[in-house]
Structure 1
Amino acid sequence: MTKSTDQDYDFATADFNAVYRGGDLLGGAGITKAPWDIGEPQPGVIEFERLGRIRGDVLDAGCGLGDNSIFLASRGYRVTAVDASSTAIEQAIERAGGADIEFAVADATSLTGFEGRFDTVLDSALFHTLSADSRLEYAAALHRAARPGAWLDMLCFAAVPGGMPEPLSVPERSVRQVLDETGWAVTELRRAVYWGVAEVTREFLAKTGTRVEIDARGRTQLPVWSVLAERA
């Protein structure tokens, strides 16, 4: 569960370039390595693919170090992977080796130059990192980048007991409202699990009073919303 704490963080100041170089993600949080870097695709992304929720040209928005993109490319999908962090993209290209993936540094809240290109949009833990206003801009940008009838598959930290503190987690009603206002019709929203590296976030979780499940491999088991939507 999450309890009140004297430790406040300004999540808008998160420095993603810094953390990919071994610096501080967030002042005072003690996070100096990407806690989402588990070295393999997220189980929720694997589940999207298993359910047949990936098709055509795919946009991986906020791709980070590229493990989800690499997985989808290995399954034969045409993947474009974007991230605002140039350091993440550099490392993702190296990690991908010769995989046929289009990598680009791009602002996901605008996605200029990517209009009308994609049949599937994947968001594995980007939405919740944005401010309330930026979430609207982001969802609208995804809508512009998607073709008519495109699918959106999203994993977003859930504001539930045992989850990350707000505003780094999002209530269900907020997810639905943002997507509805930007032209996405939610077809399914349920609880799922997002893996992270427990050791990397141990100090942060202690300061925020957040207690989460940790598996035998030292990974956090964080609750997320698994969201399926269609471009209306």
Structure 2
Amino acid sequence: MSIYDGGYDDGYRACPCFWGKEVGSLITKFLEENEIEGSRILDAGCGEGKNAVALAKLGADVTAIDCSEVALQNAKNAFGGNSVHWQCSDVRNLKAGGKPFDVVVAYGLLHCMQSADEIASVVHRLQELTEVDGWNIICAFNDRQHDLSAHPGFDPCLVPHSTYLRHYQGWEVTFSSDEDLHESHPHNNIPHVHSMTRLIARKVKR
């Protein structure tokens, strides 16, 4: 089963730049306080690449992974030539090893997993791939409230905000929030709401 069974590929086919081109608000917040030129960054579950491209334009060496070939093709069509290293693969199969990343981004990814245990496993893998003093930037649905009318057939895995915080015990959490996101998507224009966990955390030496 693909983690994109929620119907994102339908949206990508119906409306290239489904997520728009504006960088995510949590990425913007991180950039207000951190210099990334020369950093190695992993964008895990990059979608159509708006965050990956924005980070690469600031001088980072960005690897962007998504299991949707449609999303990655939309990214290349929308942004043209850039220095992002695009990879079509499933983040659940990422292997630790090699040089770790300075920043790992998981934006809208973790609630697409199939269970709380799978979320925990992927978070642990992303943490393993992070350099000491490096950062994780997490944005995911939590279990507080959702209107899924705009996502027919989507069954996200919803865990409490506190669970995400617990996954980052031992890290320095510099920002976290549990707030509602009101949005609509361009392929159906149905207003809806999601409760969102947003988290920025730094891996500290133990």
Give TM class, smaller chain.
Answer: 0.7 to 0.9
Of 43, 46, 65, the residue aligned with 1:60 is 43
Q: Which runs of 5+ in 1 are unaligned?
A: 1-10, 23-32, 206-210, 213-221
Structure 2 residue runs of 5 or longer lacking an equivalent are 149-154
Alignment partners' CA distance in 2, 1:35 and 1:133: 31
Q: Which residue of 1 aligns with 2:152?
A: none
Q: TM-score of the superposition, structure 1-length normalised?
A: 0.69
Letter in 1 for 2:21: G
CA distance in 2, matches of 1:63, 1:123: 8
Q: Does the residue aligned with 1:48 lie in a helix, a strand or coil?
A: helix
Q: Which amino acid aligns with 1:112?
A: K
RMSD: 3.1
Residue in 2 aligned with 1:224? 196
Structural mapping, 1:105-120, within 5 Å: 105-112=88-95, 115-120=98-103
Give the secondary structure class of the aligned counterpart of 2:85: strand
Q: Which residue of 2 aligns with 1:133?
A: 117
Taking the aligned partners of 1:67 and 1:19, their CA distance within structure 2 comes to 16
- Which amino acid in structure 1 is aligned with residue 77 of structure 2? E
Aligned residues of 1:143 and 1:184 also touching (Cα < 8 A): no
Q: Is 1:142 paired with 2:131?
A: no
Deviation at 1:97, TM superposition (A): 1.0
Higher relative contact order at CA 8 Å, sep ≥6: structure 1 or structure 2?
Answer: 1
Classify 1:122/1:114 alpha carbon distance in 2 versus 1 (closer, same or farther; 3 Å).
farther
Q: Identity of paired residues, percent?
A: 24
SS of residue matched to 1:177 = helix
Provide the rounded CA distance (Å) in 2 between the counterparts of 1:156 and 1:62: 12
**In 2 relative to 1, CA 74–127 (structure 1 residues): closer, same or farther, beyond 3 Å?**
same
1:82-231 equivalent positions in 2, closer than 5 A: 82-112=65-95, 115-130=98-113, 131-161=115-145, 163-164=146-147, 167-180=156-169, 184=171, 186-191=173-178, 194=181, 196-198=183-185, 200=187, 212=193, 222-231=194-203
> Number of matched residues?
194
Q: TM-score, normalised by structure 2?
A: 0.76
Change in CA separation of 1:146 and 1:115 when aligned onto 2, cut-off 3 Å:
farther
Provide the secondary structure at the position in 2 that maps to 1:65.
coil
Q: CA deviation at 1:41?
A: 1.6
Residue in structure 2 matched with residue 20 of structure 1 by the alignment: 12
One-letter code aligned to 1:41: V
- Residues 102 and 147 of structure 1: is their aligned pair in 2 closer, same or farther, counting only changes over 3 Å? same
CA distance in 2, matches of 1:196, 1:42: 13
Contact 1:116–1:144 (Cα < 8 Å) also in 2: no
Task: Judge conservation of contact 2:96–2:125 (CA < 8 Å) in 1.
Answer: no
User: Cα distance 1:178–1:194, how it changes in 2: closer, same or farther (>3 A)?
Assistant: same
Paired with 2:175 and 2:75, the residues of 1 have a C-alpha distance of: 30
The answer as to whether partners of 1:66 and 1:95 remain within 8 angstroms in 2 is no
